[in-house]
Amino acid sequence: MNIEWEKLGFEFRPTKSNLRYTYRDGKWDDGELFETYDLTLSVASNCLHYGQAIFEGLKAFRCQDGAVRVFRPDANGERLNSSARHLLMPEFPVERFVEAVRRVVADNVEYVPPFGTGGSLYIRPVMIGTTPQIGISSSLTYQLIFIVVPVGPYYKGGIKPVDAMISLDYDRAAPHGTGHIKAAGNYAASLYPSRIAKEHHCSVALFMDPKTHEFIDEFGTSNFLAITADGVYVTPKSPSVLPSVTNRSLMQIARDLGMKVEQRPVRKTELPGFKEVAACGTAVVLTPVGRIFDGDKVYEYGTEIGPVLKSLYEEMTGIQHGIRPDRHGWLVTV
């Protein structure tokens, strides 16, 4: 293993192992660690034709005291089960999910980036329907696979502000569509609008609600949050937005810091009035947004991270790395 931890981005690379569970005859097995990344599947598998494929994303951190801790794995276990229910897939008990995360991280512990490098170990659980079928129905067999990847910043530049563009493809929903489902197919549908944003030199697409185009939903990779001139934390409440664990945690941190938090429908017309804007999520952490392009209009939020976002970022990453107290018991030690 020869990894330059400080230079990591958000790219796949194999590690020592991945952990696979199989669901058959109505129950999950005990799981097995695999050192290969290949998977044998029937070409008629449900996940390939009818899209029974859901996933999660969470991170493990090397803390200041040398211990490895995972951030809120129970919340991701609960969300995986919510996605599973929406796509008629089997749930995986949350306690078992947390245990699986600890098991796969423990087996790959040498891939957790050292404290101080800014890196973390990204854990990606994915569940797929594997029954060969040609008629549309839910699969009878499934695999739940946990892969782990050491990662650095999702957007190069860390906390340097990125540019965003309001999706021109107005009628497309944000990656989760209605129902808050973290499903593979929802992301595939976001690829084209995200490509258009990149062609306009923007790192990320910002999706409006697909019905009226008047309300902000979320970014292609993350939730939207803004700080108003009065210092209020504002984030969209919408059925099409993924309930982000990061956003929920930041809202709690904001309240802890004495800020007012509003989760409510957010109008596009509010954009010019915001003081600071950011994207938040496990992969993007808290990435400030410097400019938002809306057709021929542009809203600007500065070329450096603003003071409120900076304090939220420092508190959040401080908790994750064991530098600041874990007041809410969010960390699970491996």
Binding site for ligand COI (CB under 6 A): 57, 221, 281-283
Q: Which tokens sit at 253?
A: 């941190």
Beta bridge partners of 61: 69
Q: Which does 206 bind (CB under 5 to 8 A by kind): ligand PLP, ligand COI, none?
A: none
Return the number of other C-beta atoms located less than 10 Å from residue 178's C-beta.
Answer: 12
Based on the shown chain and the rule CB under 6 A, indicate whether residue 235 belongs to the binding site for ligand PLP: no
Q: Which is nearer to ligand PLP, 125 or 129 (CB)?
A: 125
Shortest Cβ 282–ligand PLP spacing (Å): 3
Residue 203 interaction partner, one of ligand PLP, ligand COI, none, beta carbon < 5-8 Å per kind:
none
CB of 30 to ligand PLP, least distance (A): 27
Least CB distance to ligand PLP at residue 272 (A): 24
Q: How far is the CB of 177 from ligand COI (least distance, A)?
A: 15
Radius of gyration of the chain (CA): 20
- Distance (Å, whole) CA 289 – CA 306: 10
Shortest reach from residue 153's CB to ligand COI, in Å: 12
Contact call for residue 244 and ligand PLP (CB under 6 A): yes
Helix (H) or strand (E) holding 20: strand 18-24
121 phi and psi, to 5 degrees? -100, 115
Asked if 152 touches ligand PLP (CB under 6 A), the answer is no
Residue (57 or 185) nearer to ligand PLP, CB: 57
Q: What is the DSSP string of 256-312?
A: HTT--EEEE--BGGGGGG-SEEEEEETTTEEEEEEEEEETTEEEE--SS--HHHHHH
